[in-house]
Chain A
Amino acid sequence: MPTDAVDAMRAEHIVKRFGALIALRDVSIHLEKGEVLGLIGDNGAGKSTLIKILNGFQQPDAGRLYLDGSEVRLKSVSHARSLGIDIVYQDLALVNELSVYHNMFLNRERVGPPPLLNNRVMKKLAREHLDDMGVNIPSVEVEVARLSGGQRQAIAVARAVYSKAKILLLDEPLAAMGAKEGAIILDLVRHLKAKGDVSIVMIAHNYAQVLEVCDRVNLLQHGTITLDKRADETSVVELTDLIVAEYRAARERPA
């Protein structure tokens, strides 16, 4: 795929085995700058393994990873984060007992006259940042526990963006969410896309929603990419057919 611009991230021939099981047999993907890439595939196709490799949680057995054109070896999650790769696992990183703005600034707190926290500044910055991202919550002072699932996840994404993430990995951001809640996240992704500061890989099961917000879709089957198309060149029907065909083939294969 010859492009003039350097990809935000590129993975080439990634292989990952767990004993006899080959989770990823040969995966090559690329993520253009400012792009939203949808990563779909049936359960067990290797999506979570791939994401764990992209965020440094696991190391591949073979293959290369490039950030902004230069090769990197991600040693750990925090190493990946220091390079601007952040993952949002639904809302699991938030502390329910803390307010929205304390969550946004967790471990990056602004301190006023030491050792006291500068809550006034943190509230103001959190409010500005959330407004800027189009995240709508009544107050930054409420405990996160009181927010809905969609709002919590929006806060988690906003926090990752605020921490200067360049590449966001969204692991099933729409799982276990109603239509209205899901719409909050889709709006947020659209908003981020419009601003173009971050590149996003989004894992999802709902193909209609994937096609709605993503620029491009990659289908992962049996540890390899079997489809790479622009979202406007494919359809829910095509994607569903591919997955179902895979299922049928597996069923009809002699055990």
Chain B
Amino acid sequence: MKQSVAARPNLWAAVVDAILRRREASILVVALALIFYFQTANNVFLSPENIATVAQYAAPWAIIAAGEVMLLICGEIDLSVGQVFALAPFIMNFAFQAGVPLVAGVVIALAASALVGLINGLVTVLLRVPSFVTTLGTLFLLNGFTLTITQGFPVQTPGSGAFSLILGHGTYAPILWAIGIMIAVQVVLTSTRWGLHTIATGGNQIGASESGVNIGRIKVGNFMLLSVLGGFAGILTAVRITSMDPLAGGTDVMFRAVAAAVIGGTALAGGSGTVAGAFLGALVLATIFDGFTLLGVSAFTFDMILGAAILLAMILNVYLARLRRVGK
């Protein structure tokens, strides 16, 4: 008896300790608390239909956030990915209209997305333009380009059957893609040379290059990865809602992805971050978005809450990082 009483605070301390130490765990607690709150406030929150809705909100943010995490870790940022999100479905459609099979159209669209990432990366690395500025430029450039080639009109998304079911129209297709991509990118980050070199590039650029790490290649590669993921998320969304809009995505989807990454525990200063955390961050944003919609809170209020959540997450991150350092 005495022993168990004595053991309990230790167990709790250990649990709290573990939560403090794992970045993903703290955001997981936030996600669970929010789900609990919304389910209590409105019992349809955990209905299958609503879960599907939350998943559909979260998926594109999570997919883009996975790439943005890699880029943030190596010390760069991409503001233009929301425009790639808008452009990619149109490129797929143009290819299809030109007589190319739809699947090949997807490949062409992703290759074009990669090209945007390549340009972002080369301008940033070779011409030494800060990525914030580079991608601010390509943001406007791509937005104008998409509007020009589409003349500003939305188009119906081609495709049917298995193609559209798999590429976004199936209820859980987007979130399954997001989960798969999250796992794949997380493995790349933590268990491959590419991931190690990405962390080294952001953590100590000079030290990494002195060790022979090709930091330029790492950065360009991560720009390309993010652009491809942005284009893919755009295609998934276009297939899901069966229409493509030149004004889709944009800074909205980009900032939500960055917010998901930051809330999930990725440092804007580079050197550290977690893809799984960003996935949970996207889930938290989607939960807040959907939950407040269910409660009848307006979209204006949502932005206030999102802003406060980012600030809170950043303050908590700084505080937890300090705790981790002091811890041992």
On whether the two chains bind one another, the answer is yes
Q: Which residues of B contact A98 (CB under 8 A)?
A: 196, 199-200, 203
A117-B325 contact, Cβ under 8 Å, with A77-B210, A97-B271 = no
Do residues B196 and A109 form an inter-chain contact, with CB atoms below 8 A? yes
- Bound: A107/B199 CA distance, A: 12
Report the minimum CB–CB distance from B145 to chain A (whole Å).
35
Do residues A97 and B193 form an inter-chain contact, with CB atoms below 8 A? no
Indicate if B100 sits at the interface (CB-CB under 8 A): no
Indicate if B206 sits at the interface (CB-CB under 8 A): yes
- Bound: A93/B194 CA distance, A: 19
Do residues B272 and A93 form an inter-chain contact, with CB atoms below 8 A? no
Q: Quick one: which of B150-206 are within 8 Å of A by CB?
A: 187, 191-194, 196-197, 199-200, 202-204, 206
Interface-centre pick from B192, B194, B211 (highest chain A CB count, 10 A): B211
Indicate if A72 sits at the interface (CB-CB under 8 A): no
User: Could you tell me how many residues of chain A have their Cβ less than 8 Å away from some Cβ of chain B?
Assistant: 21
A-B pairs under 8 A by CB, number: 61
- Bound: A93/B213 CA distance, A: 12
Q: Which residues of A contact B272 (CB under 8 A)?
A: 97
Interface-centre pick from B192, B208, B210, B271 (highest chain A CB count, 10 A): B210
Q: Which residues of B contact A78 (CB under 8 A)?
A: 212
A115-B206 contact, Cβ under 8 Å, with A78-B212, A106-B200, A145-B325 = no
A109-B200 contact, Cβ under 8 Å, with A78-B212, A92-B206, A146-B325 = no
Do residues B193 and A109 form an inter-chain contact, with CB atoms below 8 A? yes
Do residues A111 and B193 form an inter-chain contact, with CB atoms below 8 A? yes
Do residues A95 and B208 form an inter-chain contact, with CB atoms below 8 A? yes
Report the minimum CB–CB distance from A82 to chain B (whole Å).
10
Indicate with 1 or 0, residue by residue over A83-102, a CB within 8 angstroms of chain B CB atoms. 00000000011111110001
Indicate if A21 sits at the interface (CB-CB under 8 A): no
Q: Which residues of B contact A117 (CB under 8 A)?
A: 191-193, 196
Return the contact of A106 from the options B191, B208, B328 (Cβ within 8 A).
B208
Indicate if B216 sits at the interface (CB-CB under 8 A): no
Indicate if A1 sits at the interface (CB-CB under 8 A): no
- Bound: A109/B212 CA distance, A: 12
Indicate if B207 sits at the interface (CB-CB under 8 A): yes
- Bound: A95/B213 CA distance, A: 12
Q: Quick one: which of A37-96 are within 8 Å of B by CB?
A: 77-78, 92-96
Do residues B207 and A97 form an inter-chain contact, with CB atoms below 8 A? no
Chain A: CB-nearest residue to B201? A95
- Bound: A116/B193 CA distance, A: 8
Q: Which residues of A contact B187 (CB under 8 A)?
A: 116
- Bound: A77/B209 CA distance, A: 11
A116-B191 contact, Cβ under 8 Å, with A96-B271, A97-B203 = yes
- Bound: A98/B73 CA distance, A: 12
- Bound: A71/B272 CA distance, A: 44
Q: Which residues of B contact A115 (CB under 8 A)?
A: 192-194
- Bound: A78/B212 CA distance, A: 8
Chain A: CB-nearest residue to B206? A92
Q: Which residues of B contact A93 (CB under 8 A)?
A: 204, 206-207, 210-211
What are 8 pairs between A and B in contact, CB < 8 Å?
A92-B204, A92-B206, A94-B207, A95-B203, A97-B202, A106-B196, A106-B197, A115-B194
Extra A-B contacts (10), CB below 8 Å, given A95-B271, A116-B191, A119-B191: A77-B210, A93-B210, A94-B207, A96-B203, A97-B202, A98-B203, A107-B197, A109-B193, A115-B193, A117-B193
